[in-house]
Amino acid sequence: MINILEYLPGKRKQTPSGWVSFNAVCCQHNGATADRRGRGGLKATEHGWSYHCFNCSYTASFVLGRQLTFKSRRLLGWMGVPENEIEMLNLESLRHRSIHGIIEDRQRAFNTLSAIEFGEPDDFPPYSEIVTPEFPLYWDYIRRRGVPEDFPVMTSIKTDGVHWTRPYVLIPFTYNNKVIGWTARFLDNKSPKYINHSQPGYVFGTDLQHSDWQYVVVTEGIFDALSIGGLAVMHNTVSDAQARLIRSLGKQVVVVPDQDQAGLELIDRAVELGWAVSIPNWPAHIKDVNDAVVELGRLETLLNIMQSRETSKIKIELQKRQLEKKIR
């Protein structure tokens, strides 16, 4: 493999922080005047290198196991690395590609193509703070619903007319660990139960997924998702945009409908999307995943879901008919 250091221009200086500085090779190709003050920098990284120009701001990097990026190819060209050497470097790099790298690359390409992005969220209500055991009304409620303790549920302690006077817990909606919206769940029995500040195409729970999980459990409600570590489509159907986002996770999908009239619609949509459906034979009073987790525990519920997982269209149809009878 080529040693990039051999292609750097003369008059190089090593800095204590590990950068090699030299006259940048990029600027004149980017509409800036050529660098004469050693403002190009290259630093070796764990499995490659990183280039930064402090004159025209060009950056490029290389990681063994990854495709050479367009920017890196250009940079190498400007350094005078022959075209065939660049191609060799790319091939050599791909030989070191790990399965993880391949999945990540596909993921990135997919996200870019499907433009999964969300805008700025509406602000949280005033005085929002994270629920701790000091606030037993809220703390006990979210524990009872099987929400993991490390999930930041919020509330507004001053419910004195600044905002709602009804007690509520607020669940932040995140995507790639950025807040993009929220829902408030009121704790009295008045209507509405929820106020949602979501965005079209959003699916709750993508940040609850672990990279080594093979399956993703798709549920209807926020508390279903929180209690099982699944996703919530927040409705009894899945929009096309939501389906794209769920597919972008690159996992096997198992849809668990609520065991009520509305849930039947979700089953049809899951079949249409070619996803597996799971309708565990829970006691009649267990209507959804959250009920099951509260009564049976998370592990037992997950086992029930996986055991009842069905991929055959005909078998799903049979299960659906049984569910129809059960809920009638």
**Interface residue list for Zn ion (CB under 5 A):** 24, 26-27, 53, 55-56, 58
Q: Which is nearer to Zn ion, 26 or 89 (CB)?
A: 26
Distance from the Cα of residue 189 to its chain's centroid: 33
- Supply the minimum distance, in Å, between the C-beta of residue 139 and Zn ion: 55
Q: Which is nearer to Zn ion, 55 or 72 (CB)?
A: 55
- Supply the minimum distance, in Å, between the C-beta of residue 53 and Zn ion: 3
Q: Are 192 and 210 in contact (CB under 8 A)?
A: no
Q: Which is nearer to Zn ion, 24 or 153 (CB)?
A: 24
- Supply the minimum distance, in Å, between the C-beta of residue 46 and Zn ion: 25
- Supply the minimum distance, in Å, between the C-beta of residue 13 and Zn ion: 17
Q: Which is nearer to Zn ion, 40 or 221 (CB)?
A: 40
- Supply the minimum distance, in Å, between the C-beta of residue 28 and Zn ion: 8
Q: Which is nearer to Zn ion, 41 or 280 (CB)?
A: 41
Query: Considering Cα of 143, then 256, then 237, then 295, what sign does the dihedral take?
Result: negative
Q: Which is nearer to Zn ion, 37 or 158 (CB)?
A: 37
- Supply the minimum distance, in Å, between the C-beta of residue 71 and Zn ion: 12
Q: Which is nearer to Zn ion, 58 or 282 (CB)?
A: 58
- Supply the minimum distance, in Å, between the C-beta of residue 238 and Zn ion: 47
